[in-house]
Structure 1
């Protein structure tokens, strides 16, 4: 149970920090909205959010997955017990939902002051495509997650010091974001997208827009496929 709690808390921190930043640059009267942050700022914000989440989960010795794609990949690669996969994924989704709910509570007056057209949109909490194209949006998530998981699997065998690993993972996430993130917002994590999207849809957020459920399957299925392909290559090369 302790490991599930660790995954819950780590994912909660990841999403609270990540979507908290999204709220601060999107909602009216939030001070950061006046800064006109660049895409690079967004990349760094999410990278640091991942780092903090992995450190929290690391206290509970969970492996710091925070991501169903990572959990599934490690299980497929023989690096994680299949009996714990479902529990990890449930904990990650619940943690993501809770992190988003905390952000809604924190910024509630700002949501009240902001209409959907002014920035009160699902984009604060979940990913979406710059150019809607089902095939290429799906491929973008597959490709980004493939590289993320493949490098992560190699890192897992490299034996980084425990205290250094979250920093390295954070820079990996930033590298993925810089290289592949501008097309779909690089979910590369089904829980990171589904949990906050569900929170946005269910919670009584004033003036909100739609949750764009028609797109929601892509950041779930795409990362799962990408992770699976990365494991197949990892094992085919005799690395696992």
Structure 2
């Protein structure tokens, strides 16, 4: 339940900020990429403060799988975590759609609509998306492990959570211009499925030919990051 609610909050706060910026007629229309960076940074920070003590605040199948592949998380908990994360992502995205439904109806740009659900490579290149998502994910998970495992933060895990939120927001601002970014299979695939199913006006293609990239690249990036952290610091 912690992973379910944490991932749902991630989507509501993160994709909610994207909807506020990208959809026509909202108070934040064309508010700029920095608003999305803040939304996603807080979308990670706030669940970490809420449920980190319960589940570790993975809220990301790539992190769960990457830890398990490196022997740092029990395999018998992987499926329950991943199911909870995908369910939370879908429910969180439904909340975003319900809250912004009048503005979805006003928006005629199909890529703007898709961008409030899932990610798109700016030059429509799977290779470019793969590179960007891999390195963004590596930095995210390596940085998160280093910060939460840092002895300076052991007596103040709240400060570590805050720093991870800042890291996510910075990644969105620094590397997010290419793909979105996803950095999280549940954050992308669950909402993309909803985009395909919901009867939204002007929604266009769900771009399934790209959908494997924000699933595979974060898992590879997370696995490499956890491996590097384990070899260097554990």
TM-score (norm 2): 0.91
Q: Which runs of 5+ in 1 are unaligned?
A: none
> Which stretch shifts more, 193-202 or 92-101?
193-202
Once the two structures are TM-superposed, the CA of residue 176 in structure 1 deviates from its matched residue by: 2.0
**Contact residue 104 and residue 113 of structure 2 kept, 8 A:** no
Alpha-carbon distance, 1:120 to partner: 5.2
Q: Which residue of 2 aligns with 1:217?
A: 212
Provide the secondary structure at the position in 2 that maps to 1:224.
Answer: helix
* CA distance in 2 between partners of 1:130 and 1:16 (Å): 23
Provide Cα deviations, 1:129-159, integer angstroms capped at 9, x if missing partner: 1112222221111111111111122223215
Aligned partner of 2:109 in structure 1 is 116
Aligned residues: 231
Residue in 2 that maps onto 1:189: 184
Verify: 1:231 aligned to 2:206, yes or no. Answer: no
**Is structure 2 residue 43 aligned with structure 1 residue 49?**
yes
**Aligned-pair RMSD on alpha carbons?**
1.8
Q: Secondary structure at the match of 1:32?
A: coil
Q: 1:173 aligns with which of 168, 186, 196?
A: 168
Show the counterpart of 2:135: 143
Aligned-partner SS, 1:121? helix
In structure 2, C-alpha distance between the alignment counterparts of 1:136 and 1:165, rounded to whole Å:
31
Aligned match of 1:24:
20
Aligned to 1:65: 58
Q: TM-score, normalising length from structure 1?
A: 0.89
Q: Secondary structure at the match of 1:209?
A: coil
1:184–1:163 distance in 2 versus 1, CA, 3 Å: same
Shift in CA distance, 108/178, structure 1 to aligned 2, threshold 3 Å: closer
Q: Is the 8 A contact 2:143 2:164 kept in 1?
A: no
Deviation at 1:162, TM superposition (A): 3.0
CA distance in 1 between partners of 2:170 and 2:16 (Å): 21
Question: What SS does structure 2 have at the residue aligned with 1:107?
Answer: helix
State whether residues 120 and 180 of structure 2, in contact with CA within 8 Å, keep that contact through their aligned partners in structure 1: yes
Give yes or no for the alignment of 1:40 onto 2:42.
no
Report if aligned partners of 2:15, 2:93 keep a CA contact under 8 Å in 1: yes
